[in-house]
Amino acid sequence: MTVMKSLLAAAAATVVLGAQAQALPTSGTLVVVPANGEVVHANDQVTVTLAIEEQDKDKAAAASRVNQKMNQGTAIVKKADPQAVLKTQGYYTYAVYPETAPLPPGVAAKPRVPTGWRVGQYLQVTTTNLAALPKTVSAAQGVLTLNRLNFSLAPATVRKLDDQRIAAAYKNLNERVAAIAGAMGRNVNDAVIDTIDFEGSGNYAQRANVAGARAMSADSMGYGGSQVAEPSFEPGETTLNMGLVAKVKFK
């Protein structure tokens, strides 16, 4: 009987403690609530990097061919897509040295003499004319090589999506506050928002899921003036996130 009484007393104490835990006062409680909004939109801009490289024993000859072909490629892109924004970049000149066998210990290495030169340059093309992209790239590949493709959202589109991101984040905040109120045994109408901080006063976090973005080495596509068949591209979509942190006080 003594053991039974002890068990009953312990059970009763557990019930009392549980009831007291559930009945903790929440009046005036300040809760910090993080929330997040997400918007998905089809990519409407592409940045294409085209390249040209020449090798020659004569550095001037290699540079001359690079300059000539870059001028030709730039003119082709401008004609195929007049609205594109072009930027030449990354001009380089490297000496090419012959391979040498390791020297025996104590033997001094002779000054290396280059056997040729590598000269190259890149052309960055940014455009929202995705419909003409295959034709534009195909035309440019008659002279230049396709080095990289990156699909994204145009800056104007990102600005237009700001209101949707704010609305999505605020909706998520309301859902989380309702869940917290339910867990506390309170009515959601007793919750009052004290402060909302959207991404630390405007530091938006952007994550791009780019399906169809492709990177290619400069040697992976041939060139030489011949007609190149039009490639196929899938722009994919981008996911934009906006987070917020709110302080919610219960009456």
Helices (H), 23-161: 59-80, 133-140, 155-160
How far apart are the C-alpha atoms of 211 and 29, rounded to whole Å? 45
Q: How confident is the model at residue 185 (pLDDT cuts 50, 70, 90)?
A: confident
Residue found under tokens 């557990």: 14
Q: How confident is the model at residue 103 (pLDDT cuts 50, 70, 90)?
A: confident
Please compute the mean of the pLDDT values over residues 87-116 and round it to a whole number: 85
Phi, psi of 68 (to 5 degrees): -65, -45
Q: How confident is the model at residue 61 (pLDDT cuts 50, 70, 90)?
A: very high
How far apart are the C-alpha atoms of 22 and 99, rounded to whole Å? 79
Please compute the mean of the pLDDT values over residues 96-102 and round it to a whole number: 83
Q: Return the top range by mean pLDDT from 47-56, 168-177, 178-187.
A: 47-56
Please compute the mean of the pLDDT values over residues 22-32 and round it to a whole number: 78
Answer with the residue of higher pLDDT: 160 or 225.
160
Query: What integer pLDDT is reported at residue 100 of this predicted model?
Result: 77
How far apart are the C-alpha atoms of 128 and 153, rounded to whole Å? 9
Query: How do beta strands 214-215 and 145-152 pair?
Result: antiparallel
Whole-number percent of the chain with pLDDT over 70:
80
Closest of 33, 17, 80, 76 to residue 52, by C-alpha: 76
Query: What integer pLDDT is reported at residue 211 of this predicted model?
Result: 41
Query: What integer pLDDT is reported at residue 217 of this predicted model?
Result: 41
Token pair in block for residue 23: 């009945």
Residue found under tokens 């052309």: 123
Q: What is the pLDDT of residues 69-93, one digit of tens each?
A: 999 999 999 999 999 999 999 999 9
How far apart are the C-alpha atoms of 123 and 119, rounded to whole Å? 14
Phi, psi of 233 (to 5 degrees): -125, 145
Which residue pairs from 132-135 have beta carbons closer than 8 angstroms and sit at least 24 positions apart in sequence?
132/80, 132/81, 133/46, 133/48, 133/81, 133/233, 134/230, 134/231, 134/232, 134/233, 135/80, 135/230
Query: What integer pLDDT is reported at residue 98 of this predicted model?
Result: 87
Residues 6+ apart with CB under 8 A from 217: 147
